[in-house]
Amino acid sequence: MKVLLKKKVDGVVRTCGRCYDEVKEVFPPNCNEKPEALKSQPIGQYHCPDCGAMVIGGVPHPPLCKRCLDRKHPGLDDMKGKDEEEKT
């Protein structure tokens, strides 16, 4: 049986908190939403209204990859293009 190994960069695998891709570098989110401020609220997991990442009330927003930070991730941010393609 063939086993697939994760490629590590500098010995560390980093995962984007929005698309879950394994990337070389992640960045602090540029969202206005601050789920850590909801620590005492009875809210669990929900979508960040700014980027759509799954966040948990009371826990800091997860870091994002460069494509998600710029809202240019294929498959997540190109919905307008897909709608136009379907019409043709």
- Would you list the domain boundaries of the chain? 14-74
pLDDT tens by residue, 71-87: 999 888 876 554 444 55
pLDDT in tens, 11-49: 678 999 999 999 989 999 999 999 999 888 888 899 999
The whole-angstrom separation of Cα 69 and Cα 21 is 13
In this structure, is the dihedral angle defined by the CA atoms of residues 15, 52, 60 and 31, taken in order, positive or negative? positive
**What does pTM read for this prediction?**
0.71
Helix extents (H) in 8-56: none
Q: How far is Cα of residue 54 from the mean position of the Cα atoms in its chain?
A: 8
